[in-house]
Amino acid sequence: MILQNTGTVTPELRVLGAVQLPAFLIDADFPAVIDAGMSCMADRYVREIREALNGGPPARLFLTHTHYDHIGAAAGIKKAFPEMEICCSEAGCEVLKRPRAIETIRELNRDGAGYMEKMGEPVSGSLEFETFTVDHPISDGDTFPLSAGMHLHAIATPGHTRDAMSFYVPEKKMLFTGEAAGVMSDTGYIFSEWLADYNDYYASLQKLGALEIDILCLGHGGVLTGRDAKNHIDRAMEYCRWFRQLIESTLAETGGDVEQAKQHIKEKEYDPIPDPKQPEMAYLLNLDAKIRAVQRLDQQN
Ligand SMILES: [Zn+2]
Residue 243, phi then psi, degrees to nearest 5 = -70, -35
220 CA distance to ligand 1 centroid (A)?
6
Is residue 245 one of the residues assigned to a domain? no
> Nearest 5°: CA angle at 173, between 29 and 222?
95
The domain tally of the chain equals 1
pLDDT at 59: 98
108 CA distance to ligand 1 centroid (A)?
12
Is residue 28 one of the residues assigned to a domain? yes
Q: What is the chain's length?
A: 301
253 CA distance to ligand 1 centroid (A)?
30
Is residue 291 one of the residues assigned to a domain? no
245 CA distance to ligand 1 centroid (A)?
24
pLDDT, averaged per 10 consecutive residues of the chain (301 residues), comes to: 92 94 97 96 96 96 97 97 98 96 93 83 83 97 97 98 97 98 91 96 98 97 94 97 97 96 96 84 92 90 71
Residues by chain with Cβ below 5 Å of ion ligand 1: 69, 219
Is residue 81 one of the residues assigned to a domain? yes
Strand 60-62 versus strand 32-34 pairing type: parallel
For residue 161, give its domain range: 2-240
Is residue 52 one of the residues assigned to a domain? yes
Q: Name the strand (E) or helix (H) holding 174.
A: strand 174-178
Is residue 246 one of the residues assigned to a domain? no
CATH of the domain at 68: 3.60.15.10
301 CA distance to ligand 1 centroid (A)?
30
Is residue 195 one of the residues assigned to a domain? yes
pLDDT at 265: 97
pLDDT at 295: 94
179 CA distance to ligand 1 centroid (A)?
6
Q: How far apart are CA 129 and CA 276, in angstroms?
A: 23
78 CA distance to ligand 1 centroid (A)?
20
Q: How far apart are CA 221 and CA 265, in angstroms?
A: 22
pLDDT at 221: 86
Is residue 296 one of the residues assigned to a domain? no
pLDDT at 299: 82
